[in-house]
Amino acid sequence: MSLTLFFLYSEYFTNEALEGYRDIERGGQVICTVKYADDLVLLAKKEIMQQDTADRLTEIGICYGMEMNVEKTKVMRISRQPSPAHILPNQKQLKNVEYFTYLANMITDDAKCTHEINCRIAMAKAAFNKRLFSPAK
């Protein structure tokens, strides 16, 4: 399947699977997913909604001949007191993660950006030191 066809196909069945789900609103606009390249982030306020969304996406995907790769699919609960989420598409537990990188930004399960700030300070320091201590031309 060509990449363009894959994107069209996945967009169509994702829209069909998520039709009627209105869990998160931001600025008056309903947000169900965040997409980048071939990645899809499903958003929900409650774990039961996340499970329903994953089940519906799996069900509709099968109708279109596509299957969720449970080995590559991850789940993360963002909370002040993070705890594992129990999402089981096809009765298989998804791996819980504490962080992931999205568009060069680290998203953590505690919703803090301390690690992100420390990484950016380290990158700036490395670039500064490289420039400061490189031989003059």
d(CA 109, CA 81): 9
d(CA 58, CA 73): 12
d(CA 17, CA 61): 8
Q: What is the pTM of this model?
A: 0.68
- The H or E element that residue 100 is part of is strand 99-102
Among residues 41, 38, 34, the alpha carbon closest in space to that of 6 is found at 38
Q: Could you give the angle at which helices 47-63 and 3-17 cross, rounded to 10 degrees?
A: 130
What pLDDT tens digit does each residue of the chain (137 aa) get? 677 887 787 778 778 877 776 656 666 666 666 766 667 777 778 888 888 888 888 888 888 888 888 888 888 888 888 888 888 888 889 999 998 887 788 889 998 888 889 988 999 999 998 887 777 66
**80 neighbors 111 (Cβ within 8 angstroms):** yes
